[in-house]
Amino acid sequence: MIAPSILSADFARLADEAAAVAGEPGAGADWLHVDVMDAHFVPNLTLGLPVVESLLRATAIPLDCHLMIEDPDRWAPGYAEAGAHNVTVHAEAAADPVMLAKNLRAAGARAGLSIKPDTPLEPWVQVLRHYDTLLVMSVEPGFGGQSFRPEVLDKVRTARRLVDTGHLTVLVEIDGGINTDTVEAAAEAGVDCFVAGSAVYGADDPARAVAALRDQVRA
Ligand code: DX5
Ligand code: ZN
């Protein structure tokens, strides 16, 4: 699966930018990745629930909301209630990640748990049984256009092994520095869903950039 990140899109034209990656049925973006930042959990500020609500009305692509915010226990369920398909919170920020996952699912969304590049996977394995997605950050969260950190692939391999042996049922997602040079290594390590911001929206033709990533994964 390919999830273009609108962090690198033109925020004044979000409906058009979503349409630009929709592509032909079955060929375009699987999810649209929406980076919510609060200037506290990360040193950057982007958008919040009102923009997500507008985007939900503007596109049929399922929204993958990545909440880089403090106190996700309080704020994340609102994104699920609004209709986001997948709502991902940070393990480093959640006070009660099990209860939070239950609340997200009860509100009708998939629940995602994200870990930063330096956060180990092991302490979260038991908690992940309550989640549908594991988002492994391959850059420090906060900004698009950073370089991929290959050392995080060890965590992806571990997660893949746990999924394949039936110890976990999560979809493994990677976020940060994914482009046609790095996507193959991530795919080999066992990633199911690839987030790409600058590689898609920095390209002249975003739909072609999505197709190019998909081709690389399948190669
Ligand atoms: C960074 C965000 C990413 C960002 C990725 O904190 O979580 O989703 O958009 O951008 P690229 O693909 O340019 O690294
Ligand atoms: Zn993200």
Domains in the chain: boundaries: 2-218
Determine the atom of ligand 1 nearest the C-alpha atom of 177: 14
> Which helix (H) or strand (E) segment is 216 a member of?
helix 206-218
pLDDT at 211: 96
Is ipTM strictly over 0.95? yes
**Contact 48/36 with Cβ under 8 angstroms?**
yes
Segments of the chain with pLDDT less than 50: none
What residues are annotated to the active site? 35, 175
Q: What is the pLDDT of residue 27?
A: 83
pTM of the predicted protein model = 0.98
User: Span 2-218: which CATH code?
Assistant: 3.20.20.70
For residue range 35-87, what is the model confidence (pLDDT) as tens digits?
A: 999 999 999 999 999 999 999 999 999 999 999 999 999 999 999 999 999 99
- The partner residues of 110 in beta bridges, in order of sequence, read 86
HSE of 2, CA atoms in CB hemisphere, 13 A: 30
- Return the residue whose CA atom lies nearest to atom 7 of ligand 1: 141
What atom in ligand 1 is closest to the CA of residue 176?
14
Annotated binding-site residue? 35: yes
Contact status, residue 130 vs residue 97, Cβ threshold 8 Å: yes
CB of 141 within 6 A of ligand 1: the answer is yes
